[in-house]
């Protein structure tokens, strides 16, 4: 399954090569023309039957992850986050380090060695480390140079007929949607932009848009499901199985109101 392969590929911001190569191989299989820009965005072009209007649809290839920034004498790896990561969930998480995908686990001071006040607050970044089983600094340095990225070791799984789990669905789901779009024919010119470095400041999308110069742009992005315990029903802006969500505003953009309404009407008509 394409989504499974994209999900399990490693592609933290700025190091999207594995994901990009999978996408390029699929584009070649579909015989779609594409180019890769200087930042690493992949822009796939499909001429329309009429060709008077150009629509760009974008999804980002990168994912959040970790970067190794130091190595202890013991061989343990110090790291910092790439993108927004809640450090409260990191302890005991398994990771894959570097292009060789060396297995490791995130550790911290054991709870029975912590002082009472330390147990009341989340660990700071400097209190966490990755253990890859290296016996000392020299062995770790041979395996993991500084600047090496690590991703979470989460395998893709089918939980039910229509529910799957995996890592980096934000935004490998979007990338999968774009590849599906490229299988069809349209009246308009279609540009599918697979962008880089979204998780560290939306860095790839802007240059992609300037390059494509579309008349209209749509972004396919992942979001959270709010129908979980502890969230009152009136706060359920998104729910699993209820279809895609339309954004009316976020921290960085306010979409054109008439466009959002048009998308909503199309979704209602198509029972999406």
Q: How far apart are CA 73 and CA 28, in angstroms?
A: 47
Q: How far apart are CA 20 and CA 158, in angstroms?
A: 24
CA distance readout (Å), 4 to 34, 67, 206, 271: 23, 24, 28, 26
The one-character DSSP state at 62 is -
- Is 180 catalytic? The answer is no
Cβ-based neighbours of 9, under 8 Å, separated by 6 or more: 18, 19, 22, 168, 172
CA distance readout (Å), 265 to 200, 240, 260: 33, 21, 9
Query: How many beta carbons lie within 10 A of that of residue 193, not counting itself?
Result: 25
SS3 of 204-265: the string is CHHHHHHHHCCCEEEECCCCCCCCCCCCCHHHCCCCCCCCCCCCCCCCCCCCCHHHHHHHHH
Query: How many beta carbons lie within 10 A of that of residue 146, not counting itself?
Result: 12
The one-character DSSP state at 123 is P
- For residue 163, how many C-alpha atoms fall within 13 Å in the half-sphere facing its CB? 7
Cα of first residue to Cα of last residue in the chain, in angstroms, is 23
Give helix then strand counts, H and E, for the chain. 6, 13
Of 198, 199, 221, 261, the active-site residue reads 198
- What residues are labeled active site? 198
């Amino acid at each position: 399954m394409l989504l499974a392969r994209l999900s399990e590929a490693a592609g933290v911001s700025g190091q999207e090569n594995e994901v990009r190569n999978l996408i390029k191989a699929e584009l070649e299989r579909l015989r779609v023309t594409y180019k890769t820009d200087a930042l690493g965005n992949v822009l796939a072009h499909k001429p329309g039957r009429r060709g008077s209007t150009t629509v760009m649809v974008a999804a980002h290839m990168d994912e959040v992850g970790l970067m190794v920034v130091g190595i202890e004498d013991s061989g343990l790896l110090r790291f910092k986050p790439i993108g927004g990561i809640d450090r409260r969930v990191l302890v005991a998480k398994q990771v894959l380090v570097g292009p060789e995908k060396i297995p490791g686990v995130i550790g911290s001071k054991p709870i029975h060695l912590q002082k009472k006040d330390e147990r009341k607050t989340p660990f700071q970044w400097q209190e966490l480390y990755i253990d890859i089983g290296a016996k000392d600094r020299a062995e770790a340095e041979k395996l993991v140079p500084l600047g090496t990225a690590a991703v979470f070791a989460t395998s893709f799984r089918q939980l039910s007929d229509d529910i799957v789990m995996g890592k980096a669905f934000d935004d490998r789901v979007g990338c999968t949607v774009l590849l599906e779009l490229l299988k069809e024919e349209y009246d308009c010119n279609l540009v599918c932009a697979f962008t880089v470095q979204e998780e560290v400041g939306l860095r790839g999308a802007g240059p992609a848009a300037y390059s494509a110069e579309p008349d209209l742009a749509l972004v396919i992005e992942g979001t959270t499901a709010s129908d979980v315990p502890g969230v009152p029903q009136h706060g359920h802006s998104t729910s699993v199985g209820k279809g895609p969500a339309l954004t009316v505003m976020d921290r960085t953009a306010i979409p054109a109101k008439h466009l959002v309404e048009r998308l909503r009407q199309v979704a209602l008509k198509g029972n999406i």
